Chains A and B, each alone.
Chain A
Amino acid sequence: MSIEQAERRRASALVAPALLWTLAFFVLPFAGMVWLSLGHLEGREVVAGPGPENYVRIFTDPSFLKGIRVSLEITLVVTVISVVLAWPLAWIIAMRVPQRWQRLALMLAVLPFWTSYVVRSYSWALVLGANGVVMQALIGAGIIDEPVQIMATRTATVIGFVHFFVMLLTLTIYSNLVQLSPNYARAAADLGASGWQVIRLVILPLTLPGVMTGAFLTFVLCIGDYITPQILGGNNELTLPQLIMLQLGRRGDFPMASALSVVLMALVTLAYAASARWLKMDRV
């Protein structure tokens, strides 16, 4: 046996446990879920497929179609708002805050990122409610006369999401900005570009890969999240993850929950295909 073969054998032995784990607890359950989604529920019994019943229902039943639409709308709005808010924040921290304070400024900007996710959604319920800080402050300032209903609406869900993803995007965009050589901006300025033109025509395009990676992450995490819409959005319009949990809870309809999950996966895959050429996942 050559040395190379021996090395290969050893390397395979090292990779094997992780691969087996991933196969047993990720690939197999996932395959099982896809198979299950092709069955359906009759009474309380799961009837094994394969048959398209669940998928036909998803794409004909208005409540499921609405769930898909609501999820996509919320996710798109959240992604766009978060990018638009996070970019200037990352830029100010990277370019305007003095060097020695930068790390502190960044850490502060993402500090609540490290609070418990459930607690963070709860805190928004706390401040957005009719008696919460926001409404009371607005009433106190004389801007509104009585509380506006924000809690248990889509607005609350979007605010909760934007809060989380602004922090995430500020991190990714910041790390992109500080990697840029200052020479690009200098060259553009030397050639007569105004400060605004430098940002718009030079720096912004250069950060596009980082922005797209962050936006894709936002999309994936947002569309798959159950907690934020459940705590803040109420039950008036349900997102896909809420519908999935509803199937599990009410009837124990695993086939339908699985089919909805497959649809969710498909949406993520579509988003990936749409943004793939800008993504540099290896740099995350």
Chain B
Amino acid sequence: MRVLGWIYLALAYGFIFLPVGALVLFSFQDGRLPVPPFNGPTVKWYADVLGDRDLMAALVNSLMVAAASSAVALVLGFLAAQGLARVALPGSVVMRGLLIAPMTVSYLIIALGLLSAFNHIGLRPSLMAAGIGHVVINLPLCFAILFAAMGAHQQNAERAARDLGASELRVLWHVSAPMLRPALLAAFFLSFTFSWDEFIIAFLLTRFDVTLPVEIWSMLRSGLSPATNAIGSLVFLVSVALLVVLEFTVFRKVRK
């Protein structure tokens, strides 16, 4: 029984890491095809990828869209969570439901709705349009995380600050935000990774300037290539680095 457990664990890890392992290994392939046999290591493909103008432009676009859309989602979510946690407004259950609702709808449907709407008002596909879409998917996430993180002790501190004459903005900036710092960071970074990785909304709502997943998608059309492996491995590396940083900063503090 005990041995079976360890065998299962090993097999599961094997299954989980098989594609990623192959991805990284064959990004160093000295040859045109990222399949066995492995011809020995080369960093040629990484040089190719890093020198590729379109890819690097897409990478910068992705970073911009992710940062901007996460920031907007965070601010909107933070304010809404503050408002709804403070007093029982008439219809607060409905409002909460409405704010969470986009979470339950497929990205494809959100993208299609926005595409039709933007077509209707004459807004052309652009990074801005994709960013708006990313705020729509990340706002529920930020709101839910921050709403769950708010507690009574924080409301007391806010009330005390207000009683002492602090303006609304000062309360939010000097009292609420610092108290919610771990949750704010977690919400921001989660939003960032979701936006960074999002494909279908960006695919439908951008045209000439595209984000990285869309650019990678167009690379796939030309079939398997070690270059795709290389850019995939780089993206993986960035995500893992981000995760490690998060683990040792935000989440460690949350658990304390």
Please list the residues of chain A having a beta carbon within 8 angstroms of any beta carbon in chain B: 4, 7-8, 10-15, 17-19, 21-23, 25-30, 32-33, 36, 85, 88-89, 92-93, 96-97, 105, 107-109, 111-112, 114-120, 122-127, 129, 131-134, 136, 163, 166-167, 195, 220-221, 223-227, 231, 241, 244-245, 248, 254, 257-258, 261, 264-265, 268, 272
A-B contact pairs, 24 of them (CB 8 A): A14-B83, A15-B83, A18-B139, A22-B136, A25-B135, A26-B113, A27-B98, A29-B116, A30-B105, A92-B9, A96-B2, A114-B243, A116-B212, A119-B23, A123-B19, A123-B23, A131-B36, A133-B22, A163-B15, A220-B104, A226-B200, A227-B199, A258-B116, A265-B105
Chain B residues lying within 8 Å of A261, measured Cβ to Cβ, are 106, 108-109, 112-113
CB distance from A194 to the nearest CB of B (A): 10
Is A224 in contact with B224, judged by CB distance below 8 angstroms?
no
Chain B residues lying within 8 Å of A119, measured Cβ to Cβ, are 23, 216, 228, 231-232, 235-236
CB distance from A73 to the nearest CB of B (A): 18
Chain A residues lying within 8 Å of B125, measured Cβ to Cβ, are none
Is B106 in contact with A220, judged by CB distance below 8 angstroms?
yes
- Measured in the bound complex, the distance between the Cα atoms of B104 and A221 in whole Å is 9
Is B216 in contact with A118, judged by CB distance below 8 angstroms?
yes
Closest to B137 in A: A26
- Measured in the bound complex, the distance between the Cα atoms of B104 and A231 in whole Å is 24
A interface, by DSSP: helix, strand, loop or mixed? helix
If A265-B109, A268-B104 touch, whether A115 touches B2 (CB-CB below 8 Å) is: no
Is B236 in contact with A126, judged by CB distance below 8 angstroms?
no
CB distance from B125 to the nearest CB of A (A): 12
B interface, by DSSP: helix, strand, loop or mixed? helix
If A19-B98, A133-B18 touch, whether A116 touches B108 (CB-CB below 8 Å) is: no
| B197 on interface, CB distance cutoff 8 Å | yes
If A8-B89, A126-B19 touch, whether A132 touches B132 (CB-CB below 8 Å) is: no
- Residue in A27, A124, A227 whose CB lies within 8 Å of B19: A124
Interface with A: B39-47, B49-57, B72-80, which one? Answer: B72-80
Is B5 in contact with A132, judged by CB distance below 8 angstroms?
no
If A109-B13, A126-B224, A261-B109 touch, whether A117 touches B213 (CB-CB below 8 Å) is: yes
- Residue in B95, B204, B229, B242 whose CB lies within 8 Å of A126: B229
Is A126 in contact with B34, judged by CB distance below 8 angstroms?
yes
Which of A225, A245, A261 is most buried by chain B, counting CB atoms within 10 A of its CB? A261
Place the interface of chain B in its size category.
35 or more
Chain A residues lying within 8 Å of B224, measured Cβ to Cβ, are 125-126, 129
CB distance from A264 to the nearest CB of B (A): 6
CB distance from A236 to the nearest CB of B (A): 18
| 7 interchain residue pairs of minimum CB distance | A224-B106, A14-B83, A29-B113, A123-B19, A18-B80, A119-B232, A15-B83
Chain B residues lying within 8 Å of A13, measured Cβ to Cβ, are 83
B223-244 interface bits toward A, Cβ cutoff 8 Å, 1 = contact, 0 = none:
0100011011001100110110
If A18-B77, A36-B116 touch, whether A11 touches B106 (CB-CB below 8 Å) is: no
Closest to A265 in B: B109
Closest to A105 in B: B9
